[in-house]
Structure 1
Amino acid sequence: MAELQIRYLGAPVLRRKARTVGRMTSDEQKLLDDMVDTMVAREGIGLAAPQVGIAKRAIVARPPECEVIQLINPEIVERTAETVIGTEGCLSVPGFQGDVERHFAIRVKGKGADGKPVELELLDFPARVIQHEIDHLDGKLFIDRAIPDSLQSVDYEDDPETGEETAVLTPVTLEEIRRFFAQQMRTSS
């Protein structure tokens, strides 16, 4: 298993529609396993193949209190009309978060790591995670769906009294986030 390199906002692969995976091969199984390793190493909750530079329809997730989910060609086949707003972040947009409206419950179909058909019914946070990851397969990021006034940068500071690390949230605009990552790409080239 290997940890893969995360692609950040500005990487073209994040804005392209990912290709459908044909026959399940050992390459796809290795990709899923490496994606799980990467997600765990980066302390993520989900990861899509485009986030590691691979334009294939593959996702992995491990919402709290759930088993690891590995899906090839995931497709949401049913969703509730009920929606909920929740805060999201992303390994491809680190240091930022925003509130996104998602369907409360979904039914998703795809193939598992063994190539066999999988169908999952997910509620609340696990449903949110899978919707977020499937968005990546269609070239969308959480910042595209976020309620504009909800976007924030997330920095951490040590509390001088307790010595504990605390989050410092600062409102930002979508344009400020884009400029930040454009600058990061220029300085890393």
Structure 2
Amino acid sequence: MPARPILNFPDPRLRLPAVPVTRFDADLRALAEDLVDTVRAAPGIGITAPHIGVLLRLVVLELTPGEVRVYVNPVLDQVSRETIRHTEGSISMPGVTDELERHAHVRVRYRDLDGKEQSEDADGLLAICHQHEIDQLDGVFWIDRLSRLKRDRLIARYNKLRRG
């Protein structure tokens, strides 16, 4: 399947909440395959359907090359009080990153591509990715979690990169 064009910040569609997937069919599988190809071409480690302008709750993660994980309708079921800081960025805003604080451990409920309910406990980078991508599905762009000052500076850096 082909890599698809990625929406770039500040495209307003990146701030729209995605709707739950209700049809678990060949079209959903094809979309997931397109997301795999797109995140690899970006390159990145995570992507949501909204990153390519499709407002469905679908996430693809590939933290280790060749180990693709697909999450349909993911929700955070449990989160730890313990937090960790990690540098984050987005394939929709290439070239800029900043450090965010997230829950260190999460439990995610989701469906697989066949529609079967699943759950997963995650910590470290996987926990961060789940929170980052579920935020995106909810219409929360990662920079919204920065202070106003940091966000403004990051946007200025990003705009300078785009011009230069």
Percent identity between the aligned chains? 35
Q: Which AA in structure 2 matches 1:173?
A: R
CA distance in 2, matches of 1:11, 1:99: 22
Q: Which runs of 5+ in 1 are unaligned?
A: 152-171
Paired with 2:147 and 2:46, the residues of 1 have a C-alpha distance of 21
Question: Is the partner of 1:20 in helix, strand or coil?
Answer: coil
The Cα shift of 1:146 comes to 2.7
For structure 2, the residue ranges without an aligned partner over 5 or more in a row are none
5 Å matches for 1:72-91?
72-91=72-91
Residue from 150, 156, 162 that aligns with 1:176 = 156
Write the deviation string for residues 138-180 of structure 1: whole angstroms up to 9, x where unpaired.
11121111356666xxxxxxxxxxxxxxxxxxxx7145257x2
Q: Is the 8 A contact 1:13 1:54 kept in 2?
A: no
Contact 1:101 1:146 in 2 (8 A): no
Partner of 1:127: 127
The runs of 4+ residues in structure 1 deviating greater than 6 Å are: none
**Cα RMSD after superposing both structures:** 2.4
Query: Which residue in 2 is equivalent to 1:12?
Result: 12
CA distances 1:39-64 after superposition (whole Å, capped 9, x unpaired): 11212110011100101111110123
Give the greater-gyration-radius structure (CA).
1
Shift of 1:67: 2.8
- In 1, distance between residues paired with 2:59 and 2:157? 25
Distance in 1 separating the partners of 2:157 and 2:88 = 15
The structure whose RCO (Cα within 8 Å, separation 6+) is larger is 2
Aligned residues: 163
Instruction: Give me the whole-angstrom Cα distance separating, in 1, the residues matched to 2:140 and 2:66.
Output: 25
1:106 shift after superposition: 0.5
